[in-house]
Amino acid sequence: MYRTLSDLKDKVNQLIEQQGENATCASFIYTKEDVYYFEDIHDDEQYLSQDDTNQVLNEVGGSDYICEQIGELIDDEVMRVRN
């Protein structure tokens, strides 16, 4: 899911109101600091432009694959815990 940090903050505050501030959760957050590559010559992190970074994060956030994998993992863990 692609959101701004402000949108995410609003959602987290809503969840805290609904479930309580000590409710457990699992989360993965990727920001512009995670969108880089290594330059072969210098081996330094090279960051993309803001537009390219937004495009990368939008594609990642819109991927059904990630949600499907997490859903399958949750199903597997539920079955493991139940047995």
pLDDT over threshold 90, residue 72: yes
Give me the phi and psi of 27, to 5 degrees please.
Answer: -150, 155
* Lookup result for tokens 């819109």: 62
Cβ(64)–Cβ(9) below 8 Å: no
Give pLDDT tens digits for 9-58.
999 999 999 999 999 999 999 999 999 998 877 778 899 999 999 999 99
Tokens matching residue 8: 């995410």
